[in-house]
Amino acid sequence: MELRERIMAATKQAMRDKAADRLSTLRLISAAFKDRDIAARAEGQEGGVEDSELLAILAKMVKQRRESARTYEEGGRLDLAERELAEIVVIEEFLPKPLSEEEVTKAVDAAVAELGANSIRDMGRVMGVLKARYQGRMDFGAVGPLVKDRLAG
| Domains of the chain, residue spans | 3-92, 101-152
Q: What is the pLDDT of residue 153?
A: 66
**Closest residue by Cα to residue 151 from 99, 116, 107:** 116
CA-only gyration radius of the chain, Å: 18
Residue 19: its H or E element: none
Q: What is the pLDDT of residue 66?
A: 93
In tens digits, the chain (153 residues) has pLDDT values of: 588 999 999 999 999 999 999 999 999 999 999 999 998 888 887 767 888 788 889 988 998 999 999 999 999 999 999 999 999 999 999 988 888 889 888 998 888 888 888 888 888 888 888 888 887 788 788 888 888 888 886
The two domains 3-92 and 101-152 share their CATH topology (first three levels equal): no
Residue 69 C-alpha from the chain's centroid: 17
Residue 115 contacts residue 129 (beta carbons within 8 Å): yes
Could you say which DSSP state residue 47 is in? S
Residue 151 contacts residue 126 (beta carbons within 8 Å): yes
Q: What is the pLDDT of residue 1?
A: 56
In whole angstroms, what is the distance from residue 25 CA to residue 85 CA? 11
**Closest residue by Cα to residue 140 from 55, 31, 32:** 55
Q: What is the pLDDT of residue 114?
A: 87
Residue 112 contacts residue 86 (beta carbons within 8 Å): no
Tell me whether residue 16 is exposed, middle or buried, using C-beta atoms within 10 angstroms of its C-beta: 0 to 12, 13 to 18, 19 or more: exposed
Q: What does pTM read for this prediction?
A: 0.74
Amino acid identity at 140: F
Q: What is the pLDDT of residue 34?
A: 92
Q: Which fold has domain 3-92?
A: Hypothetical Protein Yqey; Chain: A; domain1 (1.10.1510)
> Which CATH number describes the domain made up of 101-152?
1.10.10.410
